[in-house]
Chains A and B, each alone.
Chain A
């Protein structure tokens, strides 16, 4: 003790005993304060408050009134504090390994959920047959910390088939694609339904949103560069009327493009398959009231240039999903469930329900 005091004095602490007492008192007060904080953070009442916060916040988040990311980050963060404090503070946990496993896994699960919300990416893109994905989604939603590697990814839609049962009930989708692997090689795959294209953690999936695309070439009369255009008609066969209003690029020419199918593509009466029709025409209704019927290869002359109908292709709508925390979420949730099941099993084996007064 004497040595400790001597060291303390030599170390520059106040030689005044009353000041030492005050310092020790402050230290005690600070420790008491921390202990009080940990005690509160570890309490089941705090768990209950966080559960109520999440219960109350979820409907608001579902309605779009508050951000799901904010709710999960705040609620999840508070829960992690609660669980960590409870594991540290409550000695009851030490005799209940199942509960330790459950609460530790729950902490990891919540941390993974927070990471997931901060880094996720959800998007959608439509590609015409033969077109390459250029790394940009047409609709997207992302976490604030998402590092955008989507720009580096490339794949092309090379056509698809979809089976239909009578009554237009959609069956299997098979979409042929080409994609650029990370080693620079070109790969061919077929995706669809539960088979996705996985690149750098991004999953590309086909959707029921697909149909016919009108491919046109515009040759300006002034000699400038010809332009290709692709008009994605409404999803087929969900929308049987294949009409789209369109303006020829860099001109004021507005048209109403209608695809006229001269054969049955998907027969609602029997099993069939979505395919590109062989017999079809394009009906173009112009703003001046004139109507033109075009076949594949037909040309339409305007004062500003020539419009060439190159033919019909398909287009496919893809959903893009990215979540680096996914495997952690699965592993931690399964571990948490295992821990809980273990805990309750031990409880039930230890005490018969009709012998004791509670768990």
Chain B
């Protein structure tokens, strides 16, 4: 259901505009395939928190099959990847997984997601490019 209600970015231009035009909010883009189970779950969680974090984060969806422009640049090979941007800057987050560029593992807790978003936002407004995730996911089993 989340994939229907969250705004979908249909072209590369839309993605660019979404990242560029947001001035004081974090831009969160889920790159993935809405047909994938893992991705559906992530959409659902994102949709559930979208209303709560709307003051400091905007959540968008982007289908990597419809918009393949970024696949190579951002290495979007996973079924579901969540990336964070702030004022046209890519925000990195140390999840303990080794890949600080994106969130490409499932998170099954809304509050954890909110905490991550808040942490990244705090770092972003202080001008940091890399923040450390409040939860360490190095021991979380990858699917």
- Real binding pair: no
> Which residue numbers of A lie inside 8 Å of B, CB to CB?
none
B residues near A (Cβ < 8 Å) are none
